[in-house]
């Protein structure tokens, strides 16, 4: 993901992956599920829709049966993924490069985890945990280095930031444990009493 437009494009494609939507409903769903888009304007949304259509990833068509309050020229247009768009979305959801655990991109990817395969989910969660741990250590180091030059309010703000990072680490570790158990479950089911490893020799949990 190179910029905010790329993140918005992925979020749009992900929402349209569930079925066609008109602009008003699409904007409402983006704002409801992703905090970064709560203030998303139609002036930002429609240029991205036009760009996605120019790429051949979505198509638009007039729609009817909208409530009168929504019956503007723009809201009568429904957007839908094309076959090429579905393929592009699938490729995007299969990617697990470092950009996938950046702040905004991670939120968008996490909102589409139900359409992401377990191994990719696990890699993204582990990458995100590493990123947050690095950030937490950097914040702690900075807090120790400058503690004598900070006022009480700045110190409190840093303390609050560290608490949030601690909570996110704990949240991620819980998700990672669940994903690992999910990935391991099919293999565990396949083990029979004659081939199962004795408990004493079992590897300790990660």
Enter the pTM of the model.
Answer: 0.77
Q: What is the pLDDT of residue 169?
A: 96
User: Helices (DSSP H) in the chain: which residue ranges?
Assistant: 4-16, 23-33, 42-54, 83-94, 103-110, 118-145, 152-190
Going residue by residue through the chain (206 aa), what tens digit of pLDDT does each one get? 567 889 999 999 999 999 999 999 999 999 988 888 888 999 999 999 999 999 999 999 886 655 555 555 444 789 999 999 999 999 999 999 999 999 889 999 999 999 999 999 999 999 999 999 999 999 888 888 877 777 888 888 888 999 999 999 999 999 999 999 887 775 544 444 443 434 444 444 44
Give the chain's end-to-end CA distance (angstroms, integer).
31
Task: Say what the pLDDT of residue 184 is.
Answer: 79
What pLDDT does residue 67 have?
A: 54
The structure tokens listed for 15 are 């929402």
Dmax (CA) of the chain: 69
172-206 b/e with 16+ CB inside 10 Å = b? beebbeebbeeeeeeeeeeeeeeeeeeeeeeeeee
Q: Are 76 and 63 spatial neighbours (Cβ–Cβ below 8 Å)? A: yes
- Report the alpha-carbon distance of residue 175 to residue 181 in Å, rounded: 10
């Amino acid at each position: 993901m190179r910029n905010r437009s790329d993140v918005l494009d992925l979020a749009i494609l992900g929402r349209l992956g569930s079925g066609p939507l008109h602009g008003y409903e699409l904007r409402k769903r983006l704002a409801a599920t992703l905090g970064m888009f709560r203030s998303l304007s139609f002036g930002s949304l429609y240029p991205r829709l036009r760009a996605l259509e120019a790429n051949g990833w979505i198509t638009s068509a007039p729609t009817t049966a909208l409530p009168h309050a929504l019956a503007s020229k723009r809201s009568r247009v429904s957007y839908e993924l094309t076959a090429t768009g579905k393929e592009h979305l699938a490729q995007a959801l299969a990617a697990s490069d470092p950009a996938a655990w950046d702040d905004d991109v991670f939120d968008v990817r996490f909102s589409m985890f139900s359409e992401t395969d377990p191994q990719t989910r696990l890699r993204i969660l582990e990458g995100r945990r590493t990123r947050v741990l690095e950030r937490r250590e950097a914040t702690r180091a900075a807090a120790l280095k400058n503690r004598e030059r900070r006022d009480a309010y700045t110190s409190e703000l840093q303390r609050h930031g560290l608490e949030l990072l601690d909570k996110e680490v704990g949240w991620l570790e819980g998700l990672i444990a669940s994903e690992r158990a999910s990935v391991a479950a099919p293999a565990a089911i396949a083990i029979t009493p004659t081939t199962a490893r004795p408990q004493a020799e079992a590897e300790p949990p990660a």
